[in-house]
Structure 1
């Protein structure tokens, strides 16, 4: 059985069902609300809307919407979805922006010179800015909720600019991939990965390695306000 991506609306429905199950086993809705309100919800989405839609040549989206218009559509839907999670009982949120995608292996592989694409990074800038503004609005408008923003775009740019400082020395190809920059086809079943994945920034044509995600998680937990704001995860857990 092959399982595809679960749309965010379905994930929210699953969350709502889980809250109802907690209520059934924990002694009612008040007990469930107390449990859920103390939990931290992490949400990170948007990259597939660009990689698998907006920048795809065979999609009409880019011909119908400017980058700002497309970002606005996504952010409006996003705000509605996060509000739905709030209504289901969630109160503490960590929301990650879209990371830098201009230097991922699949983008490098499309360039004859293997160059990063500043254009791709600029496409997602309106979305990230819109998400930050939207979260400010939700913080002001939803009583008892705290939405904190993780600027993983900035973090990833820092890793690309200073890879050795973060323990990386391979930043231009995937650890497991095929073709130019290991980015023309992603990692296939039974395909051996690179020998030392901890040295690689990218796991495959699209995704960062586990080592990158560990750095991101530590920054989310204890990072300063230029990375995670208005509060980091450690402070969020104490609210």
Structure 2
């Protein structure tokens, strides 16, 4: 009985300081640049005419200001919004594909930042379809950086880039795709998958480093075998352990990669938010997080409300703060709020080797 009590006291301390705190918009970093998938997409896919991976319709956004669906796969804000709030911003920087001459004046000065994330994307270019691959996201950033460096005081822009936060939330779709094609993969297949993905991930980080990035905030792959989408494929309704094992192995490899890169690339600093461990802890101890349902989707239909997507015709729960999952894959606004608070200044169990806060306030 002592362990849950100890866990509760740690989490209560974190949540009382940050979840209920009054927000003040004093920027702690010049800008935030976001790369990844639907966990941090804030509307880029809205601009992709051939993509079906969109969340720009009800009931998405029901708890967003003015109940507006924005393209976030959430009932309100998602994880990057709350990370940005902790960094002193109002919410996530705007989606890259929304930029025009009237809203990118600050951005070209290396301020505020841009969100390049695209629902359905993975670390590998082969993951997803009709989306913005991670490689393309980096090309978009390179194009933007070229315009930034063409501005007056380019040295100042470069300095801002080195102090900015580069957030990456990717890998979940790669793990889903691999497991879908390999329900019972042998060790050789798993090892090949990890090596291929890590090689690509390393190239992505080195590309960003070469373009001026120095501070990396990472959100690792969650326990994908426990999302409602996975549970309804299991006759017992429990987590699919094979999926979780793939995610955990991938996370361990990504941690090793950043440890190696921090030695090889001068000035590179990183912090990894352990979404995997946080998800499993919430499932094991829902009351410690204020949750009552950690298995079902809030919005959907069928078994566990997870046999269809959250569409305008779907049903949705009223007590959304008590649910871990909003739809068949993605967390609720409340879950995203909690995770961002923990990653910003939570215990080493869920973020390391330093917190996002320590990453921001590091001297060089």
Structure 1 length-normalised TM: 0.91
Q: Aligned residue pairs: how many?
A: 236
| Whole-angstrom distance in 2 between the partners of 1:72 and 1:150 | 22
Structure 2 length-normalised TM: 0.61
| Equivalent of 2:298 in 172, 175, 182 | 175
User: What is the deviation of 1:190?
Assistant: 5.0
Q: Secondary structure at the match of 1:80?
A: helix
Q: Is the 8 A contact 1:173 1:182 kept in 2?
A: yes
| Whole-angstrom distance in 1 between the partners of 2:210 and 2:167 | 16
Instruction: Kindly report which structure 2 residues correspond to 1:84-233, keeping only aligned pairs within 5 A, or say none.
Output: 84-233=207-356
| Whole-angstrom distance in 2 between the partners of 1:117 and 1:124 | 11
| Equivalent of 2:170 in 45, 52, 56 | 45
Q: Secondary structure at the match of 2:360?
A: helix
| Structure 1 residue 54 corresponds to structure 2 residue 173 | no
Cα gap change, 1:65/1:180 in structure 2, threshold over 3 Å: closer, same or farther? farther
Q: Which runs of 5+ in 2 are unaligned?
A: 1-45, 52-130
Superposition misfits of 4+ residues, deviation over 3 angstroms: 59-65, 189-192
Could you give the per-residue CA deviations for residues 60-87 of structure 1, whole angstroms, max 9, x where no partner exists?
9958962232122111110110110010
Q: Is the 8 A contact 1:135 1:148 kept in 2?
A: no
| Equivalent of 1:23 in 149, 162, 166 | 149
User: What is the deviation of 1:15?
Assistant: 1.3
Q: Secondary structure at the match of 2:150?
A: helix
| Whole-angstrom distance in 2 between the partners of 1:197 and 1:76 | 39
Cα gap change, 1:217/1:60 in structure 2, threshold over 3 Å: closer, same or farther? closer
| Bigger share in helix | 1
Q: Which runs of 5+ in 1 are unaligned?
A: none
Coordinate RMSD, CA, aligned = 2.1
Q: Secondary structure at the match of 2:226?
A: coil
